[in-house]
Amino acid sequence: MSLMLEEIRQQPDVLARILQQERGKIRELGETLRKRSIRLIVLVARGSSDNAAQFGRYLLEIATGIPVSLAAPSVYTLYGAKLRLDHALVVGVSQSGEGEDINRVLIEARACGAFTVGITNEAGSSMVSSVDVPLLIHGERERSVAATKTFTGQMMIFYLLAEALAGTSAVTQGFERVPEFCARTLAHEAAIRELAERYTFMENCVVLGRGLLYGNAYELALKLMETCYVVAERFSTADFFHGPLAMVERHFPVILFASPGAMLPGVKTLAHRLKELRAETVVITSDAELAAICSRVVPMAPEISEFLAPIPYIIPGQLFAALLAEAKGLDPDTPRSLSKVTRTL
By the 10 Å C-beta count (0-12 exposed, 13-18 middle, 19+ buried), 185 is classed as: buried
Give the span between the Cα atoms of 313 and 32, in whole angstroms.
Answer: 33
Give the span between the Cα atoms of 5 and 7, in whole angstroms.
Answer: 5
Does residue number 238 form part of the binding site for a copy of itself (CB under 8 A)?
A: yes
Give the span between the Cα atoms of 313 and 292, in whole angstroms.
Answer: 19
When the beta carbons of 88 and 136 are compared against a copy of itself, the nearer one is: 88
Nearest one of 207, 305, 302 to 263, comparing CA atoms: 305
Out of 231, 288, 292, 301, name the contact with a copy of itself by CB under 8 A: 231
Does residue number 329 form part of the binding site for a copy of itself (CB under 8 A)?
A: no
Nearest one of 190, 335, 213, 311 to 267, comparing CA atoms: 213
CB 182, CB 15: distance < 8 Å: yes
Minimum distance between the CB of residue 199 and a copy of itself, rounded to whole angstroms?
15
Does residue number 278 form part of the binding site for a copy of itself (CB under 8 A)?
A: no
Does residue number 42 form part of the binding site for a copy of itself (CB under 8 A)?
A: yes
Give the span between the Cα atoms of 216 and 209, in whole angstroms.
Answer: 7
Does residue number 73 form part of the binding site for a copy of itself (CB under 8 A)?
A: yes
Out of 19, 66, 133, 327, name the contact with a copy of itself by CB under 8 A: 66
When the beta carbons of 12 and 30 are compared against a copy of itself, the nearer one is: 30
Out of 31, 35, 79, 329, name the contact with a copy of itself by CB under 8 A: 79
Out of 175, 214, 257, 313, name the contact with a copy of itself by CB under 8 A: 214
The identity of residue 338, as a single letter, is L
Give the span between the Cα atoms of 295 and 253, in whole angstroms.
Answer: 10
Minimum distance between the CB of residue 160 and a copy of itself, rounded to whole angstroms?
19
Give the span between the Cα atoms of 6 and 124, in whole angstroms.
Answer: 24
> Applying CB under 8 A, which residues contact a copy of itself?
39-40, 42, 46-48, 50, 57-58, 61-62, 65-70, 72-75, 78-79, 81-85, 88, 101, 203-204, 210-211, 214, 222, 225-227, 229-231, 233, 236, 238-239, 241-249, 262-263, 266, 273, 277, 335-338, 342, 344-345
